[in-house]
Amino acid sequence: GAGVSQTPSNKVTEKGKYVELRCDPISGHTALYWYRQSLGQGPEFLIYFQGTGAADDSGLPNDRFFAVRPEGSVSTLKIQRTERGDSAVYLCASSLLPSGATLESEQFFGPGTRLTVL
C-alpha cells in the first residue's frame, strides 16, 4: 500500500515569505507527527496530532509555526515570515496508534520536504 507522502519534495523561498508543507499519512493512521532535521543532526519533534487535534505542540519553535489536520488525515505545516534558520528537512510520520511499545505504534516516515530559505 501507499506509504507516507510529502509535498513538495523541495521548496526554495525567500526570507519573509509564507510556506505550506503537506503530509499525506498512511490511510487509517490516527497519529501524525512533524519533525525537523537540520544538516548533520537527528530529527527534532515539532508537533503531534491524534486525529484532528494537536495533542502535543511543545516542539514548535515559535508562533510563526502552525500545523493543522482538519479531517484527521492530511496535515499541513505552515510557516509564516520564514527565516534562514528555518532551512531544514521537514519530516512527517504516521502511526496506527500513538507512540508506545506495541507494533501498532511503529512510526512510518515520509521522504521529507527540504526547505531552503534564501
Task: Determine contact, residues 89/114, Cβ cutoff 8 Å.
Answer: yes
Q: What are phi and psi of 71, to 5 degrees?
A: -115, 10
Q: Is 21 in the site for other proteins (CB under 8 A)?
A: no
Chain centre to alpha carbon of residue 100? 19
Which amino acid, 88?
A: A
**101 makes contact with other proteins (CB under 8 A):** yes
Taking CB under 8 A as the rule, does residue 82 contact other proteins? no
65 binds other proteins (CB under 8 A): no
DSSP state of 99: S
Rg of the chain on CA atoms, in Å = 14
> In the complex with other proteins, which residue's Cβ is closer, 80 or 99?
99
Told to check if 39 binds other proteins by CB under 8 A, we report no
Residue from 42, 62, 63, 71 that binds other proteins (CB under 8 A)? Answer: 42
Task: Pick the stretch among 21-29, 39-47, 62-70, 75-83 that binds other proteins (CB under 8 A).
Answer: 39-47
The one-character DSSP state at 72 is S
Told to check if 2 binds other proteins by CB under 8 A, we report no
d(CA 2, CA 33): 17
Q: Which residues bind other proteins (CB under 8 A)?
A: 31, 33, 35, 40-45, 48, 50, 55-56, 59, 91, 93, 98-101, 103, 105-112
